[in-house]
């Protein structure tokens, strides 16, 4: 979806945002020139500290321009992930950033349509929902069934076999995932 130059630019934007917000409490100004950055797109920003998850926040559906989403999710990942305390200025040198720019979601007829490592997945039943990005399957090595059980139970708070119920909606999406660690993912 994105060119190498676009990926570098978004990573630079995320890095600058985290650094400026954590060290000075300001949101840097950014003027989007690239038309793709002005599209309404969902995205996640994931922070790792020495290879360990340090924060991950995102939105599935584009409600604002991509560059604004990257700025907001960078700040939220650094300061608002409830699993972690805020990133400190001393940590910044050890933080690496990964970005996932999402496609539009589409409803799956069955969990068997999911391609592990390719699709991100959303489960929804009533007011409960949960999401896994495509890279979760690659990082965990889970089978499709274990992946879905963890998504239902751990992320959505549903029974672990809820993905087999007709009342549970399953959506899939693709993500262009890239990061600062080594080559683009």
Task: Count Cα neighbours of 54 within 13 Å in the Cβ-side half-sphere.
Answer: 21
Q: What is the pLDDT of residues 44-83, one digit of tens each?
A: 999 999 989 999 999 988 899 999 999 999 999 999 999 9
Q: What angle in degrees, to the nearest 10, is found between the helix axes of 66-79 and 4-24? A: 40
Given this model, what pLDDT does residue 135 score?
Answer: 87
pLDDT < 50 positions in the chain: 184-185
d(CA 145, CA 124): 17
| CATH for the stretch 4-102 | 3.30.700.20
Domain residue spans in the chain?
4-102, 106-173
pTM of the model: 0.83
Which DSSP symbol is given to 158?
Answer: S
122 neighbors 171 (Cβ within 8 angstroms): yes
**pLDDT at residue number 106:** 94
CATH number given to 106-173: 3.30.1490.150
How many angstroms separate the CA atoms of 132 and 163, rounded?
13
């Amino acid at each position: 979806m994105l060119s190498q130059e676009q990926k570098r630019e978004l990573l630079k934007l995320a890095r600058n945002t985290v650094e400026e917000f954590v060290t000075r409490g300001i949101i840097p100004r950014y003027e989007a020139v690239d038309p793709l950055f002005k599209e309404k797109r969902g995205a996640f920003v994931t922070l790792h500290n020495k290879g360990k998850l340090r924060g991950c926040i995102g939105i599935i559906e584009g409600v604002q321009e991509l560059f604004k989403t990257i700025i907001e999710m960078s700040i939220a990942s650094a300061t608002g992930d409830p699993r972690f305390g805020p990133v400190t200025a001393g940590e910044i040198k050890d933080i690496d950033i990964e970005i996932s720019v999402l496609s539009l979601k589409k409803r799956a007829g069955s969990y068997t349509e999911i391609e592990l490592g390719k699709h991100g997945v959303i489960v929804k039943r009533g007011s409960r929902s949960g999401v896994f990005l495509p890279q979760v399957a690659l990082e965990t090595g889970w089978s499709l069934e274990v992946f879905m059980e963890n998504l239902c139970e751990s992320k959505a708070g549903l029974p672990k076999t809820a993905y087999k119920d007709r009342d549970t909606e399953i959506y899939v999406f693709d993500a262009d995932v890239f990061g600062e660690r080594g080559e683009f993912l």
